[in-house]
Amino acid sequence: MKGISRRRFLAASLAGGAATTLSVTKEAWGASSFDGYPDGMGVLVDLTRCVGCRSCEAACNKEQNLAAPAEPFDDMSIYDKRFHGQKRRTDENSYTVVNRYEKDGAKPVYRKIQCNHCNEPACLTSCFTSAYKKTKEGAVTYNSKVCVGCRNCMVACPFAIPAYSYSSAFNPEIKKCVFCHETRLKNGQPPACVDACPQEVMTFGRRRDLIKIANDRIRTRPGRYVDHIYGEHEVGGTAWLYLSDRPFEEVGFDTTLSKEPIISNVKGFLSTVPMVLAIWPALFTGFHLLSKKQDHGHGEHAHSAQEEDEK
**Contacting positions for other proteins (CB under 8 A):** 49, 51, 53, 58-59, 61-62, 65-69, 72-74, 187-190, 194-195, 197-200, 203-206, 209, 212-213, 216-217, 220-221
Among 108, 198, 268, 286, binds ligand HEC (CB under 6 A): 198
Q: Which is nearer to other proteins, 171 or 189 (CB)?
A: 189
Give the binding-site size for ligand HEC (rule: CB under 6 A): 4
Q: Decide if residue 213 touches ligand HEC (CB under 6 A).
A: no
Q: Which is nearer to ligand HEC, 110 or 142 (CB)?
A: 110
Q: Which is nearer to other proteins, 46 or 120 (CB)?
A: 46
Q: Which is nearer to other proteins, 61 or 126 (CB)?
A: 61
Distant-in-sequence, close-in-space partners of 202: CB < 8 Å, separation ≥ 6: 43, 44, 45, 46, 56, 112, 190, 193, 194
Question: Site residues for ligand HEC, window 29-58 (CB under 6 A)?
Answer: 51, 53, 55
Is there a contact between 46 and 110 (Cβ–Cβ < 8 Å)? no
Q: What is the 3-state secondary structure (H, E, C) of the chain?
A: CHHHHHHHHHHHHHHHCHHHCCCCCHHHHHCCCCCCCCCCEEEEEEHHHCCCCCHHHHHHHHHCCCCCCCCCCCCHHHHHCCECCECCCCECCECCEEEEEEECCEEEEEEEECCCCECCCHHHHCCCCCCEEECCCCCEEECCCCCCCCCHHHHHCCCCCCEECCCCCCCCCEECCCCCCCCCHHHCCCCHHHHHCCCCCEEEEEHHHHHHHHHHHHHHCCCCCCCCCECCCHHHCECEEEECCCCHHHHCCCCCCCCCCHHHHHHHHHHHCHHHHHHHHHHHHCCHHHHHHHHHCCCHHHHHHHHHHHC
Q: Decide if residue 218 touches ligand HEC (CB under 6 A).
A: no
- Least distance between other proteins and beta carbon 181 (Å): 15
Site string for ligand HEC, 84-123 (x = CB under 6 A): ----------------------------------------
Q: Which is nearer to other proteins, 49 or 298 (CB)?
A: 49
209 binds, among other proteins, ligand HEC, none (CB under 5 to 8 A by kind): other proteins
62 binds, among other proteins, ligand HEC, none (CB under 5 to 8 A by kind): other proteins
- Least distance between other proteins and beta carbon 303 (Å): 23
105 binds, among ligand HEC, other proteins, none (CB under 5 to 8 A by kind): none
Q: Which is nearer to ligand HEC, 49 or 145 (CB)?
A: 49
Q: Which is nearer to ligand HEC, 220 or 256 (CB)?
A: 220
By CB under 6 A, name the binding residues for ligand HEC. Answer: 51, 53, 55, 198
